[in-house]
Chains A and B, each alone.
Chain A
Amino acid sequence: MIHRNLRLVLGAFTALTLSLAVRAADKELNLFAWSEYIPQAVLDGFTKETGIKVNYETFASGEEMLAKMLAGGTIYDLIQPPDYIAEALIKNNLLLPLDYKKLPGFKNLLPQFTRMPHDPEQKYTVPYMASTVGIVVNTEKVKQPIAGIVDLFSPKNKGRIVVVDDGRELVTAALYVLGYPLNEITPKNLKETRPLLAKWFKLIKLFDSDSPKTALLNGDVDLGLVWGGEAALLWQENKKFAYVLPKEGAHQFVDILAIPKGAKHSAAAHAFIDYILRPNVSATISKEFPYTNPNGEARKLLTPEQLANPASYPKDPRKLDTFRHLGDTGALIDELVTDLKNSN
């Protein structure tokens, strides 16, 4: 009798552990994403509806994401890299192909945001938000017209400029001015950008990737080469902050959602991606973070004011370039920028 009871208890215990394990597998999502990019309301809404708990870990740059992901401490179920990092991950066979049966909301995306250069077969990635990189001008302080990079880095603007602290963006601006394609980063081209960048670096007051808008809002600088999302927030704050896509050339980056190989909760990851693809959810994100929304159905829910934001939805007929993955030449950029800052 005692023996039977014990067996019963043991059996119940085993069943309980098993069911707990299964529950944990289904009801958890390890998300690794940019800081300041996914509203808490969206995470809460997802958990409330599905019962899946989201562990949201953040990074501040695509490179940081890559470093932490490859170091392998945590196994992430869903990551949010920029397009050129996603391309590197695809090339190295580190992403899981998506199961489109679980993503009915995929059809909401605008066609220009699918089959992009980083994922030409549209197998691994879903765009989250996109943004351009452009010039912000405080039109109350700056009276001369600013149409491009050369106007921005005019000696008249010495000590009044903030730029993103990102070597590749600065080198890209120089390549545009010299008339080279932005992804042709060769030792020869870099050498040609050097004198130009050296001249510009003497005019720059502040390098800041995290929050370039702060110095503009504080009035410490009047012009900037910044992320479109930052410019959009500035425009929301005060219409004096105009946004210009440089006439020499302009590019856009897309942050994507993807599932790394080895993810333990890929079903939960698919559920999260599909939740983001819902028009109302996507519109909620746009309200808090005014980047370029790739979701056509969501755009229909935005206010005319949101759609009129020149930094979120630039009225520019040009086709925008995108960054491609660089192999070893990435190190050359870092060395060039370090060297130039050093000899300033």
Chain B
Amino acid sequence: MQPLALPERENLHGRRPRLWGWLLLTPLVLWLFAFVVVPMGVVVVYSFCQRDDLGRVVFSFSWENYARVFEPIYLRILGRSVGFAALTTVLCIAIGFPVAWYIARRSERARNRLLLLVMVPFWTSFLIRTYAWIAILKDEGLLNGLLQYAHLISAPLPLLYTPGAVVVGLVYAYLPFMILPIYASAEKVDNALVEAAYDLGAGPIRAFSEVIVPLTWPGIAAGILLVFVPAIGMFAITDLMGGAQVPMIGNVIQNQFFRARNWPFGAALGVVFTLLFVVAYAWVQRRSSRTP
């Protein structure tokens, strides 16, 4: 992911290139304004408001919601959400990188077939796929049945409704978002460069860390953003596969809008969450601009 920088080019459209450029950008700008800037503005305004007895938003200024966001219980939830998202991201890289690299090194026909396999899960609704995991992991489910049939275990293992199940669900849901960008970078890597590293005396580890990783870093960085950020806010998987035992920040925010009907507090959590995204983005950008 490169920062958006318009190259200085010869002017191809006569005397008013800027106007023409803006005209082309208009739909995008309008879209961003209507669906990003305005809603975000509403969220920011709400986050400084209060609620009445019924949960309606009352427009009287207050810092209270932000003070509450930084109470230990919500910080701990945020910390745990970041932890789960980080673990998910690391596992996705660990599983996704070899897969992406392998696919990128095949012949074009094989590549297209393998990529299709990565995409196949998207043909079914995300919720249905999550319910399929419930069928696999439940006490009388496929996995426990198989293990018992093979006499590896005598009683069903409690797999579903555990933190482990949440991580499995998260990795499963986000793995394609790691594989695809890494694949896009890995495909462009010239094999000659890797061979050159070996010829110059680098061992496999050094060739990997000093040649392959830097060359595929843009893909890894994009993958990290695509996995880490949404994984922090995910709430459906923690409810369905974690049994809603341990709240994530996404669950807390969702609760504020429905069950607790405290929109201002939910908005404040959302604002803090968005700022966190900006920080993560800036960090990854800095990393990728440092590596050549």
Q: B105 at interface (Cβ–Cβ under 8 A)?
A: no
Range class of the A interface residue count? 20 to 34
Hey, what's the 0/1 contact readout for A40-73 against B, CB within 8 Å counting as 1? Answer: 0000000000000000000001011011001000
Q: A102 at interface (Cβ–Cβ under 8 A)?
A: no
Say yes or no: B243 contacts A334, CB within 8 Å: no
Which among A167, A219, A220, A327 has the greatest number of chain B C-beta atoms within 10 A?
A220
CB closest chain-B residue, reference A70: B56
Say yes or no: A341 contacts B54, CB within 8 Å: no
Say yes or no: B140 contacts A341, CB within 8 Å: no
Q: With A220-B138, A220-B161, A342-B73 given, is the CB distance from A206 to B245 under 8 Å? A: yes
Q: With A63-B258, A67-B258, A334-B255 given, is the CB distance from A207 to B243 under 8 Å? A: yes
Contact of A341 among B55, B56, B158, B246 (CB under 8 A): B246
Hey, what's the 0/1 contact readout for A170-187 against B, CB within 8 Å counting as 1? Answer: 000000000000000000
Measured CB to CB, the closest approach of chain A to B264, in angstroms, equals: 11
Measured CB to CB, the closest approach of chain B to A204, in angstroms, equals: 7
User: How many angstroms between the C-alpha atoms of A159 and B245 in the bound complex?
Assistant: 12
Q: With A220-B161, A338-B73, A344-B246 given, is the CB distance from A61 to B140 under 8 Å? A: no
Residues of A contacting B56 with CB < 8 Å? 70
Q: B187 at interface (Cβ–Cβ under 8 A)?
A: no
Q: With A70-B54, A220-B160 given, is the CB distance from A339 to B259 under 8 Å? A: no
Q: B189 at interface (Cβ–Cβ under 8 A)?
A: no
Residues of A contacting B257 with CB < 8 Å? 67
A-B contact count (CB 8 A): 84
CB closest chain-A residue, reference B74: A338
Q: A74 at interface (Cβ–Cβ under 8 A)?
A: no
Say yes or no: B73 contacts A339, CB within 8 Å: yes
Measured CB to CB, the closest approach of chain B to A209, in angstroms, equals: 9
Measured CB to CB, the closest approach of chain B to A141, in angstroms, equals: 11
Measured CB to CB, the closest approach of chain A to B81, in angstroms, equals: 11
Hey, what's the 0/1 contact readout for B233-261 against A, CB within 8 Å counting as 1? Answer: 00000010001111100001001011111
> Which A286-312 residues sit within 8 Å CB-CB of chain B?
none
Q: A248 at interface (Cβ–Cβ under 8 A)?
A: no
Q: With A159-B158, A331-B260 given, is the CB distance from A66 to B245 under 8 Å? A: no
Task: Sort A-B residue pairs by CB-CB distance and give the 3 closest, nearest first.
Answer: A206-B243, A334-B260, A207-B244
Interface of B toward A, CB cutoff 8 Å: 53-56, 73, 76-77, 80, 138-140, 158, 160-161, 239, 243-247, 252, 255, 257-263
Interface of A toward B, CB cutoff 8 Å: 61, 63-64, 66-67, 70, 88, 92, 159, 165-167, 201, 204-208, 218-220, 327-328, 330-331, 334-335, 338-339, 341-342, 344
